[in-house]
Amino acid sequence: MTHRHRLVAPLAAVLASSALASTAVAEEINLYSARHYDSDEKLYQAFTEETGIEVNLLEGDSDQLIERIQREGVASPADVLITVDAGRLWRAEQDGIFQSVESDVLAERLPEAMRHPEGKWFGFSQRVRAIFYNPENVDPSEIISYEDLTDPRWEGEVCIRSSSNIYNQSLLASMIEHHGEEGAEEWAQGIVNNMARDPEGGDTDQIKAVAAGECDLAVGNHYYYVRLLESEEAADREVAEKVGILFPNQDERGTHVNVGGAGVVEGAPNRENAVRFLEFLASDEAQEIFAAGNYEFPVVEGVKMSETLESWGEFKKDGLNVSILGENNPEAIRIFDRVGWR
């Protein structure tokens, strides 16, 4: 059974509850999660059924949860923090939220690129930052890399969200690693030069802008596109049908990949159970559930994916260790500021 609490609940009320009280029984974990997918409930139930360990869930956005754990200090009941994007995981790491974990199961099941070098956190689902295009105006062979988006021929044709978005920060962080700071800044300036409009909205808005003819090219995480494809709303499906998706840099490093991930909180009162939970997230059963709720790619090879993802076939993903995306985050933000990417 999962006990669910929203972060908006009064602090005293939450701590007084049986789910998160410090006197709670041993066979449980207190999970702080920035994921808000109903399908994750199935994941927690499967873990409880397999181990007998109950999951006490507290939900909120990443910054709120990190701030809360810091405020609670040594008295924090948190055992595990789950969030999305390596940049956010890195921020939590820098704030001393995570402890190192050594696990043969995680080392065997998860690719090295999905594991923090010191075991502070682990990636359990993959998010691919794709390029979307208007097939009426763009031949996909003309866009084979992120770097191609800076070609002057695409001036006024690129839609992308703001520099405050963590997904874009991580994409630029990967550019820093592959091209150096100077090369990454040239790329960011090239994107600014080719923007069709000032950045606005989320990834879905960028895809819709391509469908509406506001731009011919856009950048966004793949699952926003799949949500439109799989939507019950005909208007959403119509948008997706007007837009093509491609995975860039196949001839070299591969397409940029980010993660949904988790780590054991420093001072976790139920540390052993917390490690078992992370190991469960690496199981085939959990990987299928964990990724399916948001059309993400599993981290473990051979795990069943959604039909749409299966239909795309194999493609090359960037093998950069995702911890580097966090390490390069501060410089990425400085570059955004210098080139005027709002």
Predicted pLDDT at 291: 78
Predicted pLDDT at 11: 37
Predicted pLDDT at 3: 61
Q: How many CB atoms lie within 10 A of CB 335?
A: 25
Chain-centroid distance of CA 172 in Å reads: 15
Query: Three-state DSSP class for 123?
Result: strand
Strands 54-59 and 28-33 turn out to be parallel
127-255+322-339 and 2-126+258-304 share a CATH fold: yes
Predicted pLDDT at 23: 44
Could you state, in order of their start, the residue ranges of all structural domains in the chain? 2-126+258-304, 127-255+322-339
Q: Which residues of the chain have pLDDT under 70?
A: 1-26
For the domain bounded by 2-126+258-304, which CATH number is listed?
3.40.190.10
77 in the Ramachandran plot: left (φ > 0), alpha (ψ -120 to 50) or beta? Answer: alpha
- Identify the architecture of domain 127-255+322-339 in CATH: 3-Layer(aba) Sandwich (3.40)
**CB of 303 closer than 8 Å to CB of 288:** yes
